[in-house]
Structure 1
Amino acid sequence: MTQNEDLSALIRSIPDYPKPGIMFRDVSSLLLDAKGYRMTIDRLAGLVDEDTTLVAGIEARGFIVASGLAYVLGLGQLMLRKPGKLPGEKIGTDYKLEYGTDRIEMHVGHVKPGQKVLLVDDLVATGGTALAGVDLIRQGGGKVEQALFIVDLPDLGGAEKLRAQNIRVNALIDFDGD
């Protein structure tokens, strides 16, 4: 068994979703498995830089990963939200997706100047959402030097785009092609 093959086997692949020709990697089946979810969080936690002070999760599945990591590591969690979800003063950034455009926002003042923030999400594909998260945290004064994902789709280049921004990227599972 290769590294993390046990977790990879728990991820459901759904062909032609959300449109024909796309192979959707659904981590919800992994999250349903208590042992698999625990192993996922534990393995990701083992990759986190020691001087990290905050875990940022991208809505929505990124919240699940960020919550588990923040709990295990004893850190706070920053939520990067879709528009219209935050009640206070906020900043936001627009970005491109594989299938269109979107926006994420965060509360002003939730990141302290110079604070080292770990960015997490369930999956990195083209990198648009993750890059927007990095931009948003940096706008707020934070430093992003590391990003963690359960799944990387390396053929789509998102992890490489993050690396080009001097961010160390780790994913437990790579799904090539398809």
Structure 2
Amino acid sequence: MNLDEKKRLALLKRKNQFRLEAPKYLKKLESIYGANSKFEIVQLEDVEEIHPRLRALGYVQKFSARYYVDDWTHIKSILHDLSPKLNSTNYFTIQSLSKYWFIKADTAFVIENFKSILEIDGDGFEVYDLGIRNGLRLELYEHYYMFENEKIYGFGYEIDLWGEDWISLLIDK
């Protein structure tokens, strides 16, 4: 088997994996985004081209913060500050499907619905501008601390933001 055949086989395998996994996530996303809303599913071949561009970002110009789940208003405030950029067409994905799938859509829905979106896969989501120069990742993470020799578990939000254009919206406010 030559290299082209191996690549083609790997692509077909990922397409099949997406076909198996996607329906449960897409149905939940449509209920949040709105069944009548229009979004474009990016083809896997195009997703294959997006990933190297994401890795090339290097996450320079990065803003990163963690908040306890109870402090969700901080996340909402950050997303609201980004609304000039989120109220336009961007790439969006949930982390469970990010190897296979992105949509191109108006991403304003993440501002009000970020908690519901995180519940889709219990992990996180990502938004990138169409030029792949700016983006954000919001994840749910588990943390713990010791109190009187007992581990206390909790959850929090971690938000990463990169790209000069999007970070400037937080700095310039």
TM-score bucket (shorter structure): under 0.3
TM-score w.r.t. structure 2 length?
0.26
Query: Which one has the bigger helix percentage?
Result: 2
Task: Work out which structure has the larger RCO, using CA pairs closer than 8 Å and 6 or more positions apart in sequence.
Answer: 2
State TM-score, norm by structure 1.
Answer: 0.25
Q: Which has the larger radius of gyration?
A: 2
